Amino acid sequence: MRLFIAIEFDEPTKTNITDVQRKLETFGRGRFTHQENLHLTLAFLGEVPPARVAAVRRAMDRTAVEPMTLVFDRTGRFRRDGGDIWWIGLAKNQKLSDLQQELTKHLLEEDFALEKRPFTPHITLARQVRLTTQPAQRDLLPEPFEAKVDGITLMLSERINGRLTYTPQYRKKRAD
């Protein structure tokens, strides 16, 4: 099972993100993330045997999840030879950083091997992007917008009928 832990967004937030995608599409072409797949990855686990899912759930259950407001405030890209990856980024958020660090700690305690790269919170808008014109920041995101979140989700990543699909496997909401 190919798994990752993410923050899911409500439909209004996904609509705001797809508005940015539509603006990006006017400047070129690429493989745009489907609206239902928009998420913020906290930890990528990769291939995990089904017997290890309980360990992932334990790590999630030990992680404190506090309600928070995320602010989407910029766009950018990771340069790639086959076309760039474009993303929408978040303003610095200490609650988000603490959540990701605590989750990582608990996953490591359960013997999961995680990426060593620093956590850079972003949502992928599109891959293999080739632009005909370079947009200015205000062309894509004229004003920041917010999203309220209060949970984390274990997601299964798989191809179904040739389409990348993310299916929730377990959700951990904030403690009441």
Which residue out of 7, 30, 63, 122 is catalytically annotated?
A: 122
- Paired tokens of 40: 């913020």
How far is the C-alpha of 77 from the C-alpha of 83, rounded, in Å?
10
CA atoms within 13 A on the CB side of 152: 26
Spatial CA neighbour of 15 closest among 147, 152, 138: 147
* Catalytic residue, candidates 32, 33, 39, 149: 39
Q: Which two tokens stand for residue 85?
A: 């990856």
7: exposed, middle or buried (C-beta count within 10 Å: 0-12, 13-18, 19+)? buried
122 is catalytic: yes
Which of the residues are catalytic? 39, 122
